[in-house]
């Protein structure tokens, strides 16, 4: 809100030209990566297809972005606790909404010390620093919480979407895609003691719970 240069008196004229604004929006933020849904289908909201949009950017844009941005979990989380803004600048999405917590891209490797596969929102707890205690909880689906994958990407903006519903459907489509292409293929039995390797994102929380990592890539090693 403070970034913007002083509006000249043509502010109203600019606002009166939503089409121009839309074109500008596309060329600046979305065109190369993700067509604005309403522009792509001539404003017909029912043609919005979040699954297809995510499928189109998953391997081409998102995974490379996370791979490049992610830091090792112990490092990211230590910095996040000490200095969230510094961690945000390095591993987070600086274009996040003003009052949202930071979402960090992260690489998590370690030993699975606990797992909950009874819930449909299944998780595994991973010890990343070798002290035998869980450092992070990884969602392994099929039900998954939140929109961490969407929110970790600096090339995705709420203003590129028609409304909250499409923005949210787009967020959920990442979880569905992760479940379908990665997580549903993971083993579910006797996970404790096996090694795990994950690239994904997590939201810096304020509660007592373990950091909840949503994976875009995940591997589980053989039984020890």
Partner 1 sequence: MILTRRMTFAAFAGMLALGAAAPANAADLIAIITPSHDNPFFKAEAVGAEAKAKELGYETLVLVHDDDASKQSELIDTAIGRGAKAIILDNAGADASVAAVQKAKDAGVPSFLIDREINATGVAVAQIVSNNYQGAQLGAQEFVKLMGEKGNYVELVGKESDTNAGIRSKGYHDVIDDYPDLKMVAQQSANWSQTEAYSKMESILQANPDIKGVISGNDTMAMGAHAALAAAGRKDVIVVGFDGSNDVRDSIASGGIKATVLQPAYAQAQMAVEQANDFIKNKKSPAEEKQLMDCVLINGDNAAKLETFALTN
> Which residues of the shown chain bind partner 1 in the complex (CB under 8 A)?
1-4, 6-9, 11-12, 15-18, 21, 83-85, 88, 97-102, 119-121, 142-143, 145-147, 158-159, 162-165, 167-169, 172, 204, 206-207
Minimum distance, C-beta of residue 194 to partner 1, in the bound complex (Å): 25
Minimum distance, C-beta of residue 102 to partner 1, in the bound complex (Å): 7
Q: Rounded CA gap, 80 and 49, in Å? A: 35
Token duo for residue 155: 């090339």
Q: Which of 142, 162, 146, 132 lies closest to 38, judged by CA?
A: 162
Give the nearer residue to partner 1 in terms of CB position, either 88 or 110: 88
User: Dihedrals φ, ψ of 11, to 5°?
Assistant: -50, -45
Minimum distance, C-beta of residue 78 to partner 1, in the bound complex (Å): 15
Q: Rounded CA gap, 170 and 156, in Å? A: 10
Give the nearer residue to partner 1 in terms of CB position, either 175 or 220: 175
User: Dihedrals φ, ψ of 29, to 5°?
Assistant: -120, -35
Give the nearer residue to partner 1 in terms of CB position, either 83 or 129: 83
Give the nearer residue to partner 1 in terms of CB position, either 95 or 133: 95
Minimum distance, C-beta of residue 134 to partner 1, in the bound complex (Å): 19
DSSP SS3 for 118: coil
**Can you list the positions of beta strands (E) in 85-193?**
103-116, 121-127, 136-142
């Amino acid at each position: 809100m403070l970034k913007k240069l002083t509006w000249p008196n043509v502010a109203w004229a600019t606002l009166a030209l939503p089409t121009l604004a839309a074109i500008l929006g596309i060329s600046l933020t979305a065109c190369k990566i993700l067509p604005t849904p309403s522009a792509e289908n001539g404003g017909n909201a029912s043609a919005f297809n979040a699954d297809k949009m995510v499928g189109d950017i998953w391997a081409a844009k998102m995974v490379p972005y996370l791979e490049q941005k992610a830091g090792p979990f112990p490092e990211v989380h230590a910095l996040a606790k000490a200095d969230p803004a510094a961690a945000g600048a390095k591993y987070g999405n600086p274009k996040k909404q003003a009052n949202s917590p930071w979402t960090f891209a992260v690489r998590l490797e370690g030993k699975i010390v606990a797992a909950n596969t009874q819930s449909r929102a299944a998780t595994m707890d991973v010890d990343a620093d070798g002290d035998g205690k869980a450092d992070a909880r990884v969602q392994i689906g099929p039900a998954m919480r939140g929109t961490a994958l969407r929110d970790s990407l600096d090339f995705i903006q709420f203003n590129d979407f028609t409304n909250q519903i499409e923005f949210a459907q787009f967020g959920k489509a990442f979880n569905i895609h992760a479940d379908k292409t990665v997580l549903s293929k993971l083993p579910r039995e006797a996970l404790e003691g096996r090694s795990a390797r994950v690239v994904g994102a997590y939201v810096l929380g304020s509660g007592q719970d373990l950091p909840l990592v949503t994976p875009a890539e995940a591997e589980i090693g053989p039984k020890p």
